[in-house]
């Protein structure tokens, strides 16, 4: 078969594409992280009622579940129908809707509403904002799959930073001397600005040579190969040697016409798909619903005011980010190693460990009462989540042909969200056991 000359990839000048991919990763998880980190704000507003009996809204459970159901549904739809709508339309429209919904949430901070109405509006906002996030995340994972492997790690690291970003924003709002409403308003304006920045970064991406080369390489190579074929090749009647060459060229034409089916790609990456599902099912079963119930042993101190923000969100998200970035230094176990799924399954031990931390009025025995023990468990739990998830997302595109990388990325996003939805459902059961 003919040899195809491949152009040398241009350099990523000043690592601009790397920075943009990192920023895009941050933008995909901003909605989820800002709503879970604001748990205390929402619970306080819902508990402000004049009725004799306070209604239990279970905000944390419902927020987690109604975040993951639209993510699951629309990630699935995006995996099968992403070719029908241009990527630029999907990404830009999703970011615009997320910006509008965050603006609505910020506006409602200053609007007095009865708890039932506020709960309904908040749940609807969470549903639609995560619907947009699903399309955004699936589209961007597919796009990042076309870039070199380290960019998948950078994208995952950006997602890890989203949690730190939200946690620090909440911590600053609590430590400020402003009234609670002004603090909450400033908190929700922050993701509006960040989402606008993410949209700007995405619009800049097509203007960078490095990004254009990789994102358009497949179509350019296909066109180049087809142009090198002799005209009317399928009508030639030539010697046996030329005939064999022509048959190979026809096979090449057939390969260029269409990508592999979703099922064919899934058969190649099913181990990574199962692993990413398991990783996030375990994580979401206890984060944040169970972890939010852990309290400090130091009462009536300033530490008590920020304990949840620091130990539950800052520690988790910092270590998750460290874990997501670690594969850029070392990738172990290898993608075909049997040890990899075993390490993923072993993370289930963190569920009972976290449930036996200092949770008031629990039915379980408290084995880890001190704050330091809780922080260490959370750190290990978060690091393993980030590290193994990042490896999964980096390995999957390597298991398929280049033309199927986008399909693999979209499928992995679906199974990631499937794990989130399963974990959110299991969290209801775990809360009942406490």
Which domains does the chain possess?
A: 13-215+259-433 (1.20.1250.20), 217-255 (no CATH)
For position 137, what pLDDT does the model report?
82
Residue 356 has pLDDT above 70, yes or no: yes
- The pLDDT of 300-329, averaged and rounded, is 87
What is the rounded distance in angstroms from the CA atom of residue 311 to the CA atom of residue 317? 10
Higher pLDDT among residues 63 and 7, named by residue? 63
Highest mean pLDDT among 247-251, 280-284, 320-324: 280-284
Q: Stretch 166-191: mean pLDDT, rounded?
A: 81
Question: Mean pLDDT over residues 177-205, rounded?
Answer: 86
Three-state SS string across 339-372, please?
Answer: HHHHHHHHHHHHHHHHHCECCCCCCCCCCECCHH
Q: Is pLDDT of 6 > 80?
A: no
The rounded distance, in Å, linking the Cα atoms of 291 and 223 is 53
Helix (H, G, I), strand (E, B), or coil: what is residue 64?
Answer: helix
- For residues 35-45, give the mean pLDDT: 85
Question: What pLDDT sits at residue 107?
Answer: 93
pLDDT of residue 316: 93
Overall average pLDDT of the 193-219 stretch: 83
Give the pLDDT score at 242.
Answer: 45
**Mean pLDDT computed over every residue of the chain:** 82
- How confident is residue 244, by pLDDT bands cut at 50, 70 and 90? very low
pLDDT band at 162 (very low <50, low <70, confident <90, very high): confident
Instruction: Flag whether pLDDT at 325 surpasses 60.
Output: yes
Q: Which residues pair with 368 in a beta bridge?
A: 357
Distance, CA of 206 to CA of 218 (rounded, Å):
15
Q: What is the predicted pLDDT for the residue at 46?
A: 85
Quick check: 79 pLDDT over 70?
Answer: no
Q: Phi and psi of 227, rounded to 5°?
A: -70, -25
Looking at residue 82, its pLDDT comes to 61
Give the global pTM. Answer: 0.74
Most confident residue range from 63-67, 135-139, 349-353, 426-430: 349-353
pLDDT tens digit string along 372-429?
A: 999 999 999 999 999 999 899 889 988 998 788 878 887 887 888 789 889 988 998 9
The pLDDT of residue 294: 95
For 91-135, the pLDDT digits (tens) are: 899 999 999 999 999 999 988 889 889 999 999 999 999 889 888
Q: Given this model, what pLDDT does residue 240 score?
A: 41
Which residues fall within 8 angstroms of residue 75, CB to CB, at 6 or more apart? Answer: 134, 135, 137, 138, 410, 413, 414, 416, 417
Q: How confident is the model at residue 177 (pLDDT cuts 50, 70, 90)?
A: low
245 pLDDT higher than 70? no
User: pLDDT-based confidence at 195, cuts 50/70/90?
Assistant: very high
| 368 φ/ψ angles, rounded to the nearest 5 degrees | -125, 85
């Amino acid at each position: 078969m003919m040899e195809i000359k491949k152009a040398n990839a241009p350099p990523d000048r000043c690592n601009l594409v790397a920075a943009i991919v990192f920023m895009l990763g941050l933008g995909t998880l901003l909605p989820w992280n800002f709503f879970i980190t604001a748990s205390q704000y929402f619970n306080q507003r819902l508990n402000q009622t004049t009725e004799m009996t306070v209604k239990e809204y279970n905000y944390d459970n419902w927020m987690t579940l109604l975040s993951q159901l639209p993510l699951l549904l629309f990630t699935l739809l995006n995996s099968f129908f992403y070719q029908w709508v241009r990527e630029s339309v999907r990404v830009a429209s999703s970011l615009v809707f997320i910006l509008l919904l965050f603006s609505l949430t910020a506006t409602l901070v200053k609007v007095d509403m009865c708890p039932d109405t506020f709960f309904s509006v908040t749940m609807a906002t969470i549903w639609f904002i995560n619907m947009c996030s699903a399309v955004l995340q699936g589209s961007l994972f597919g796009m990042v799959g076309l870039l070199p492997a380290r960019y998948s790690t950078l994208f995952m690291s950006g997602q890890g930073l989203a949690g730190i970003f939200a946690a620090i924003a909440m911590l600053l709002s609590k430590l400020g001397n402003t009234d609670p409403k002004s603090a909450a308003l400033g908190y929700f304006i922050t993701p509006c600005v960040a989402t606008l920045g993410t949209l700007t970064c995405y619009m800049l991406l097509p203007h960078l040579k490095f990004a254009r080369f990789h994102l358009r390489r497949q179509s350019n190579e296909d066109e180049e190969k087809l142009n090198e074929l002799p005209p009317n090749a399928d009508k030639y009647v030539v010697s046996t040697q030329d005939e064999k060459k022509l048959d190979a060229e026809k096979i090449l034409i057939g390969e260029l016409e269409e990508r592999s089916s979703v099922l064919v790609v899934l058969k190649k990456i099913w181990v990574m798909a199962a692993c990413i599902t398991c990783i996030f099912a375990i994580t979401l079963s206890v984060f944040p619903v169970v972890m939010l119930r852990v309290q400090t042993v130091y009462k009536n101190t300033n530490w008590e005011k920020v304990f949840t923000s620091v130990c539950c969100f800052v520690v988790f998200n910092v270590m998750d980010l460290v874990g997501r970035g670690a594969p850029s230094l070392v990738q172990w176990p290898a993608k075909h190693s049997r040890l990899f799924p075993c390490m993923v399954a072993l993370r289930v031990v963190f569920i009972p460990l976290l449930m036996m931390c200092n949770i008031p009025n629990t039915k379980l025995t408290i084995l880890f009462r001190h704050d330091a023990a809780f922080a260490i468990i959370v750190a290990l739990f978060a690091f393993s989540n980030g590290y193994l998830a990042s490896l999964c997302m980096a390995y999957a595109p390597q298991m398929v042909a280049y033309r199927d990388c986008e399909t693999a990325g979209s499928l992995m996003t679906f199974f990631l969200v499937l794990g989130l939805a399963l974990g959110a459902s299991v969290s209801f059961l775990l809360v009942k056991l406490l």
